[in-house]
Amino acid sequence: MYVEDDLGSFTLDDYSDITLEHLKEFEIQGFTDSEHELDFVRLILAKSPVLKKMMVFPHYFFDKNNDSSSFTLDDYSELLFCSPCASPVVEIIVGRYKSDYSCSW
């Protein structure tokens, strides 16, 4: 049974000694529907008291899945907006695939 401070496969109590007290902006590109990635992003939110902006951009294939049982970007946005958050002023941006970076291959 999960309590309010649970994050997927672990709880915030598991990381009670961590505080990201200098992190002001966080951006992740290539986000997938992995539970571990969502847990990581939620941990950043919960442990960053001066965070002003969090930007999450999915992998190209993230929204291409037609499987009705899979999560959508809107589902993940809602999960992030409802997650424990240490910063009272953080702006959470969940965008579409960001194509302004290039691959080396």
pLDDT reading at 46 higher than 90: yes
Most confident of 13-17, 55-59, 67-71, 99-103: 55-59
pLDDT reading at 85 higher than 80: yes
Question: Please, which residues bridge with residue 94 across strands?
Answer: 56
User: Which tens digit of pLDDT belongs to each residue from 48-82?
Assistant: 999 999 999 887 666 555 455 566 778 878 888 88
Full-model pTM:
0.74
- Give Dmax (Cα) for the chain: 45
The pLDDT, as a whole number, for residue 103 is 47
